[in-house]
Amino acid sequence: MSIKDEVAKRKTFAIISHPDAGKTTLTEKLLLYGNLIRTAGTVKGKKSGKFATSDWMEIEKQRGISVTSSVMNFPYKDFQVNILDTPGHEDFSEDTYRTLTAVDSVVMIIDSVKGIEPQTIKLFKVCRMRGIPIFTFINKLDREGREPFELLEEIEEVLEIETYPMNWPVGMGKRFLGIFDRMNQQFIKFNGNEAESHIPYGELENEANQAMTTTSEFEAAKEELALLDEAGNQFSLEAVLNGEQTPVFFGSALAPFGVHDFFDTFIKLAPSPQARRSTEGIVSPDNPDFSGFIFKIQANMNTKHRDRIAFVRVCSGKFERGMSVKLSRTGKVFKLSQSQQIVASTRDTIDEAYAGDIMGIYDPNAYQIGDTLLEGKAAFEFDELPKFPPELFKKVMAKNVMKSKQFKKGIEQLVQEGAIQLFKDKRTESYILGAVGELQYEVFKYRMENEYNVEVMFESIGERIPRWLKAEQVKESLFDDRNLLVRDRNDNYLVLFRNEFALNWFKDNHKDIELIDLFEVNSYG
Ligand code: GDP
Which of 311, 272, 17, 316 shows the shortest CA–CA distance to 137?
17
Instruction: Confirm or reject: Cβ of 252 under 6 Å from ligand 1.
Output: yes
Share of the chain above pLDDT 70, in %: 88
Tell whether residue 88 is among the known ligand binding residues.
yes
Ligand 1, residue 47: give the atom nearest the CA: 14
How confident is residue 352, by pLDDT bands cut at 50, 70 and 90? Answer: confident
Atom of ligand 1 minimally distant from the CA of 45:
8
- For residue 342, report the distance from its CA to the centre of ligand 1, in Å: 25
Q: What is the pLDDT of residue 343?
A: 43
pLDDT in tens, 180-224: 999 999 999 999 989 999 999 999 999 999 999 999 999 999 999
For residue 481, what pLDDT is reported? 78
Rounded CA separation 162/234 (Å): 10
CA trace torsion 194, 200, 206, 208 (10° rounding): -10
Q: CA–CA separation, 456 vs 396, rounded Å?
A: 7
pLDDT for the residue numbered 38: 57
Among protein residues, the one whose CA lies closest to atom 10 of ligand 1: 20
353 labelled as ligand-binding? no
- Cα of 357 vs centre of ligand 1, distance in Å, is 28
Q: Alpha-carbon distance 283 to 314, whole Å?
A: 12
Is 17 among the annotated ligand-binding positions?
yes
Protein residue closest via CA to atom 15 of ligand 1: 22
User: Does the Cβ of 253 fall within 6 Å of ligand 1?
Assistant: yes
Distance, CA 178 to ligand 1 centroid (Å)? 19
Residue 296 Cβ < 6 Å to ligand 1: no
Distance 35 CA to ligand 1 centre (A): 21
Confidence label for 44 from pLDDT (cuts 50, 70 and 90): very low
Model ipTM over 0.90: yes
198 in a labelled binding site: no
Alpha carbon separation from 363 to 96, 298, 311 (Å, rounded): 20, 9, 9
Q: Per residue in 248-271, pLDDT tens? A: 999 999 999 999 999 999 999 999
Q: What Å distances lie between residue 394 and 397, 417, 460, 503, CA to CA?
A: 10, 19, 4, 19
User: Which pairing describes strands 79-84 and 105-111: parallel, antiparallel, or unpaired?
Assistant: unpaired
Please report the atom of ligand 1 found closest to the CA of residue 21: 3
